[in-house]
Amino acid sequence: MLLFLDPAELGTYLDAFNCKSCGDGNLISTDPLSYTAEYACDECHASVSRADLDTVEDDLVEKVEAVDTSDVEAVAALLNECLEHVRPTNYLALSLKRHLVHLYGRTPGWRLNEALAERKAGFCRELLSAFDVVAPGLTKERGLTLFELVSVKLFTFASNNNNNNSDDQVDLLKTCLVDLKDAVACLENERPGTFEHMVRLTAEKQMEQCGELIEVLKFAQFSQP
């Protein structure tokens, strides 16, 4: 953990490119405090000049800034394009995943199914890990992302409702309660009338509902012959 508190490491973590030589490693800066230092692969040690990467990065930045962030297909296609060049933890990939997390399951034609739910949850977790490093603490982004992660868990809960062990279902709801409590704390200072405040109110309502569902499931278990 201490490793990531070093601003130099922080830079490499968010700014890693794919190594085209071995196709496997992370191309990371040989000197994160310098904008001109060359990048080297942590697997095969091939190196690339920062200027060459700038060309790739500038092109992607332009596209990321221009993409219609309400167009799921366009954002997802651009993410795929980015991932041909950058690591999944690169800030460009993360910024697109952040949009997708809010679009999947909330856009006409993009209702959650099992595969989409898994993809959305994976993105949420990647974003939360990145926030732990770059913006630890109770931030608005963290609150909104936790809320989206819970939406996936509740989808899973509803999908499992008739064919799963109720102990597992209770455990799933308990993790929702933990995440929702964290989300509410993150969004505590948002002003009434804002989107974030509305999310906070919804999260509070969901906490109540999860609590009630846990009681119902426990009771059902208890009264089974």
Contact footprint for Zn ion (CB under 5 A): 19, 21-22, 25, 41, 43-44, 46
DSSP string, 67-105: S-TT-HHHHHHHHHHHHTTB-TTSHHHHHHHHHHHHHTT
Nearer to Zn ion, 44 or 74 (CB): 44
Nearer to Zn ion, 5 or 22 (CB): 22
Mapped onto helix, strand or coil, the DSSP state of residue 199 is helix
Q: How far is the CB of 129 from Zn ion (least distance, A)?
A: 23
DSSP 138: S
Contact between 9 and 32 (Cβ < 8 Å): yes
Nearer to Zn ion, 41 or 146 (CB): 41
Q: How far is the CB of 46 from Zn ion (least distance, A)?
A: 5
Contact between 130 and 94 (Cβ < 8 Å): yes
Question: Rounded to an integer, what distance in angstroms lies between the CA atom of residue 88 and that of residue 122?
Answer: 11
131 alpha carbon, distance to own chain's centre:
9
Nearer to Zn ion, 13 or 157 (CB): 13
Contact between 21 and 41 (Cβ < 8 Å): yes
Q: How far is the CB of 27 from Zn ion (least distance, A)?
A: 7
Q: How far is the CB of 43 from Zn ion (least distance, A)?
A: 4
Nearer to Zn ion, 43 or 141 (CB): 43
Q: How far is the CB of 28 from Zn ion (least distance, A)?
A: 11
216 Cβ contact partners less than 8 Å away, ≥ 6 residues apart: none
